[in-house]
A = this chain, B = another copy of it.
Amino acid sequence: MTGIEWLIETFGSPETALRSETSLRILFESIVTDMGLKPVGPPVWHQFPDTGGFTGIWLLQESHLTIHTFPEFRSACLNVFCCSTRPGLDWQTRLHVLLGATEVQVREFHRLYDRR
């Protein structure tokens, strides 16, 4: 069995999007819906009072989503981890449409956990 994880950095988003729990919630829900993932409970959100940046974490049957936003740098770091390989989304378009990102960097890694 091999998992798959995307490490994604976004740049150029409006600060307001990165300080909006609603925007981030819509992003998480769109990923879960379009990849056919099954959440375990609701996501956990924390907003940092100094910058207004958010951390969001969503535990899934298939592993997890996390995001950290940095409004002061107009950037964010997203992780999408699935415990079985599958196609990703068009991350550039998704993050442009939902967070206003003007640049998106994506790295994809396999995570082997069964070597029998």
Contact = CB atoms under 8 A, between A and B. Distances in A.
User: How many monomers of this protein are in the complex?
Assistant: 2
Contacts of A107: 109
Interface of A is mostly: strand
A113 B83 contact: no
Interface string A29-40: 000000000001
A112 B73 CA distance: 11
A20 interface: no
A113 B70 contact: yes
Interface residues of A, number: 35
A68 interface: yes
B46 A55 contact: no
B40 A66 contact: no
